[in-house]
Amino acid sequence: MSKDYSKYLPFLTGQYSTTPGIQKLDKAETEFNRLVFQIDDQYELYLENKKECRQESIHKYYHQSNYKPQTAKVINEYIINQLGSEHPAVYELKNDRFCNRKTGESFGYNLGTGVVDSDHYIDLFDALCNQVQEDMAVFQLTDESDYLTAVHLCAPNHWSPGAKIGKPFDAIHQPVADMEETIKRYPLMLQSIVKLGSPFTRFAWGIATDIRLNHHPDAPDGADQKEWVGRSTVSNDESIFVRVERQNLIGFPETNAFLFTIRTYHYSIDELAMSEKVQLWEAVKSMSPATLNYKGLNEIFPELERRLK
């Protein structure tokens, strides 16, 4: 990534944690960091990944479950307005028509129905998700529970959106190691996000042995499953990366829902400063055996130790 853009290293605390760590987005230090949707010099790479997912099967990466029309309308309207506000030089929005000046793509839409005048996309949410580097998901809250109502995920980090759609927050995160305390408190957390509305941001991170964005657990036809999964033993001359997710949460009290955006970044551990390597190693060492296993680090742990100590 260009030096002109932000570098996110949440492991610099020297401690791995599954706590939410949510902060108000408008408190970020720079204008770029306060953007919900960021555009950088890897824009084309991310859109190419989404194109490849669509060519494989968009229904593997885009799912809905009881997605209420009013929620869909509010979410789509927010995305359109936010893109126009944050990047007016890139996105032209006029007379129910969306134009992406970077790609040259243009399509009309009906905000009320979510219909888009393009055979290329399923609906308006699908079309909008393909204009940005971020992946997106929508959670719907009800009086009794909550559930993942829509997800457009082309850079999954070893989980399947199809396996999570329609499920509540606690069931979605049940496989995640050391999440017990967060799961206990999650209903109040989700309600607060929706009620407060204003964007929040948080970060999640792990270790990867490649920089491929798409790590859906099921390899595409013709791909070797073990090689696709990665996280295997690496030799001295192979790279290891920190994979970081910048996650934004925007609440919509009028529909009792929130939008969740995910943007993935990769940083080679060999290019980290010595002080950053020290903190990364401290954070890895702080992981429980269950977390090391969940994140697939057991095989590469010795090589991590050699490079970071």
Q: Using the predicted structure, report yes or no on whether residue 5 has a pLDDT greater than 80.
A: no
At 141 the pLDDT is 98
For 144-191, write each residue's pLDDT tens digit.
899 999 999 999 999 999 999 999 999 999 989 999 888 888 889 999
For 257-293, write each residue's pLDDT tens digit.
999 999 999 999 999 999 999 999 999 999 999 999 9
- Rounded Cα–Cα distance for residues 149 and 71 (Å): 10
- DSSP for 107-173, please give it: EEEETTTTEES-TT-SSHHHHHHTTSSSEEEEEEE-SS-EEEEEEE-SS-BS--HHHHTT--HHHHH
H/E segment holding residue 92: strand 91-94
Taking CA 241 as the corner, what is the angle to CA 240 and CA 242, rounded to the nearest 5 degrees?
Answer: 140
Q: Which residue has the tokens 């798409």?
A: 214
At 230 the pLDDT is 79
Q: Using the predicted structure, report yes or no on whether residue 208 has a pLDDT greater than 70.
A: yes
- Rounded Cα–Cα distance for residues 95 and 98 (Å): 9
At 4 the pLDDT is 52
- Rounded Cα–Cα distance for residues 279 and 285 (Å): 10
- Counting residues of the chain whose pLDDT is more than 70, the rounded percentage is 97
Give me the phi and psi of 75, to 5 degrees please.
-65, -50
At 121 the pLDDT is 98
pTM of the model: 0.94
At 3 the pLDDT is 45
- Rounded Cα–Cα distance for residues 12 and 276 (Å): 7
C-alpha distances out from residue 260 to 75, 129, 148, 287, 296, Å:
10, 12, 10, 26, 25
For 221-266, write each residue's pLDDT tens digit.
999 998 898 777 677 778 999 999 999 999 999 999 999 999 999 9
Rounding to the nearest 10 degrees, give the CA dihedral for residues 79, 218, 283, 233: -140
Average pLDDT, the chain: 94
- Rounded Cα–Cα distance for residues 227 and 238 (Å): 14
